[in-house]
Structure 1
Amino acid sequence: MIGILLFRKFLRYIITFLAMIALIFFISHLMPGSPLKNILGEETYFRMLSQNPETLEELNKEYGLNRPLVEQFIIYLTALVNADLGYSYKYRQPISELILFRLKWTLLLLLPSTVLGAMLGAFFGALTGWNHRSGQDSIFTSWLLFVYSMPHYWLAMLFVLVFAFHLDLLPLSGICSAGSQGFQRLVDILVHMALPVSVLTSLNVSYNYLIMRGSVVQIMGEGFVLTARAKGLMERDVLFRHVLRNAMLPLVTVIALDFGFMVSGALLVEIVFSWGGMGTLVYDAVMARDYPLLHGSFLVIACCVLAANFIADVLYVVLDPRLRAGETT
């Protein structure tokens, strides 16, 4: 029965994925402007538009931009079935190569910030949830709620202003300094990623903290907690051996959702820090109206988010016997 449950969920994700392919394609084409304006330059484009429109029409035909949108979508789907993401107008490179190179830098920010955010958020959320009427709880909750309400890019600019500009402790932007090699390059990358990872981790901690705190407060009234206390167990053992194990179940789904939110947030943070990952790639694609690059970038991001959520669904079914019992009855 677990296999049937997971198969149903898998079908839902397949349908969602197909819908996202269509949305990504058609929404990107709603942007005003033409890719040829970026390829030729504005001055050349408008001169050709007024003096030599037939040449401009030939270029539109060469790039396939003169075809009806539905026909372009069918051509795109055909190429996608053959695992061909296309060719970038701006970079003059296969899109798969561009994405593979940029995606690793985005994951370099996402993975540590997701793991650290989950661990710290769960730990502090459990402690303050256990003492939810204390002054410590009021201070932590108020502060992290304030951090959670901040836009990603605003917090990133605040970190740049304080730690890079005024205190001059960390570099303003980029992945590494020019000319660094070997171990020095590794250290340089770690120094450059300190600020963006700190921003993403702070936002992730605030969200996980609020979820874990609420979960612990809710579970504290359950009967098994009263039983554990009646047995004479220490408060620390009740929290970490009984309450925390049950409160972690909602966090499994939240971590996957975090990954989805972090992907979108990381794109904005990357732009602030000029981090050469998927964020700057998407930004360049939008500015250049590079439709194939936009399609490929958003498609890969969507796949990462869907995969993370599917893994969370699988873990939730495996970890929660009540859910399996509900499905089998």
Structure 2
Amino acid sequence: MEDFFGPEGILNARLPNFEYRRQQRELAEKIENFLQSDRRLLAAEAPTGVGKTYAMLVPAMRWAVANNSTVLVLTSGITLQEQLIYKDIPALLDVLGLDLPYGLLKGRGNYACIRKAREIGAEGFLDFGGDKGQASRDISGWLYATETGDLSELSLGDTHPARERIASSYLTCLGPYCPHHERCFYNKVMRSLSHWRVIVANYHVYFSYVLGQRKPFPAPFGLLICDEAHKMEDAARAVTQVGVDARDWQRLLRRAPRLDKVEASLLRSVDCPADRFAEEVADLSRVSESVFDQLAARLPDGKSFTAYPPELKNDTAELLVKCDRIIGHLDE
């Protein structure tokens, strides 16, 4: 690694702002030696400013070329992912003279569903939070211009209701029956994934497969790099725990009463007219709001129950009974 990280090395000669750091060179040497051995695991810790990213990537990318294999790089946050994809990896590939296809895999909810996004325009530019349809118009225009469908291209916050409305989701995906299946942005990323030799993803995406869905990661890889590994545990826990909040109920129940003619006809066939169904949904919404208001009053931020309060059990039971009744109509 002296030829790359040394005072007279390639990086110092070709990267304008590169500074020689002895610890960086030593870390890269440790990784290089590990990759040439038959060991399965290397754990390394280094302080801020050492240049860990380059120390990991240079030997890893050289290993990928030599072994005709794929490197999977996991991080905890989008900022570091974008730095890797838009800055570090292309710079190093250029300096090292390597040709390795690479890309960023985000979670499914970060890509637009074409079917749902087109529905927004077809419904007459819906108003979101009093914006007089501006978000809907922005989405409709963007949909015809974007090549990736990455929702970060839109100037909408992560929790904006319009973003939530058009985000791709396993729950709403029609799979091969979708009229936009071949153009699907998420499917396009998954097809590209098999050609990438350096894949960047975060821990939540990785664990959503191996723990959440109990499936292998969707692309084979020969080397796994875990950056910011101290944050791995929290991501694994977040994927495996089951949770629900007031916003989840509100988002779901807002959609339920909007029935088309076919759905209304199907409900009538099981003796549940559309207006009665809408009343039951509204009633369920009121009960759910009450339950979560009571939970919020009893649970300051960061606190939890050691035992569920007896005075909330009746309200929670009522919520579940009403929910089961609506699910019963839909099951029929």
Q: TM-score range by the shorter chain?
A: under 0.3
Greater helix fraction, Structure 1 or Structure 2: 1
Greater relative CO, 1 or 2 (CA 8 Å, sep 6+): 1
Query: TM-score, normalising length from structure 2?
Result: 0.23
- Structure with the bigger percentage of strand: 2
